[in-house]
Chains A and B, each alone.
Chain A
Amino acid sequence: MRPSTAQRLVRFYPRAWRDRYGDEFVDVLEAQPFGAGVVWDVVRAAMTERVLTFTTREVRVAYVSDLRVLVGRPSGFLPLLCSVFALAVGLLGAASTPALRPVDEGAAAHVFQLLIVAQVPVIAFFVVRWARGRTWAAVTVAAIQAMAIVAALAPVWYFHL
């Protein structure tokens, strides 16, 4: 296996593990032929190490602390607020009597679309800005933002608005 490939595979492991075993592990990897079996073996073992690492108190505390920081950032909470407003707009639209709904897309529909579309660049910025330094907390917040969008879209789909 090429050294660059081995280096990439080692990055799946937690930082503390890499500091301890990284050099010798890369040496062993370089002697292995590259193949799906080896990649799967390394990724599976790395995920196990990450789970084991996460069970330590220090890592859990750091994760919760990162979550608080990221949710407090504008790029963290603004998309969530947009989704909440979009959900409210969708539910209000569903609650209104069909006779009162505009035949064409009304102002509410445009507000709803704006609230959803405006989030996309903000979420993209959030991921680019935070995924490297606070990976797992950033992934968690981005997943919550994505789920909030799905929740906001649910009434539109369910009530055929």
Chain B
Amino acid sequence: MRSSNEQSPGDTSSGFSDPPLLVMASLATGAKHGHAMIRDIEEMSGSRLGPGTLYGAIARLERLGWIEALPMEDRRRPYRLTTAGHAALHARMSALRRFVSAGERRLGLA
């Protein structure tokens, strides 16, 4: 019998989950506020971030100086990537690309 925690190999419903990376990837296409980020991240990765998780990532990235807040629009505050954030996202994507390549080679997919 399968435990409830088990996932079938083809099941990708849980999506990719690294909230700070997802937020930075979402902001790579331009400034967005919280609602827009949740929708964009869901379309991009299949992961629907909860509001607490989203703002935990936003606060952490802001502390790191990788994103910055823009002036409020009504009650919504857009955020955008900083130059340091662009560099960090680029470095992280390069590392992920190397990891994916190595994984595909090991699986005989590449």
- Please give the residue numbers on chain A whose beta carbons come within 8 Å of chain B beta carbons, in ascending order: 17, 20-21, 23-29, 31-32, 37-38, 41-46, 48-49
Contacts and interface: CB of A to CB of B under 8 A. Distances in A.
A38 B77 contact: no
Contacts of B67: none
12 contacts: A20-B59, A21-B58, A25-B55, A27-B34, A27-B76, A31-B35, A32-B51, A38-B50, A38-B51, A41-B50, A45-B55, A46-B52
Nearest to A27: B75
B interface, how many residues as a size bin?
10 to 19
A131 B75 CA distance: 31
A31 B75 CA distance: 12
Contacts of B53: 41, 45
B59 A28 contact: no
Interface of B: 33-35, 38, 50-56, 58-59, 72, 74-77
B75 A42 contact: no
Nearest to B77: A24
A42 B51 contact: yes
Contact of A29 (B51, B76, B77): B51
Contact of A24 (B50, B52, B56, B75): B75
Contacts of B33: 24
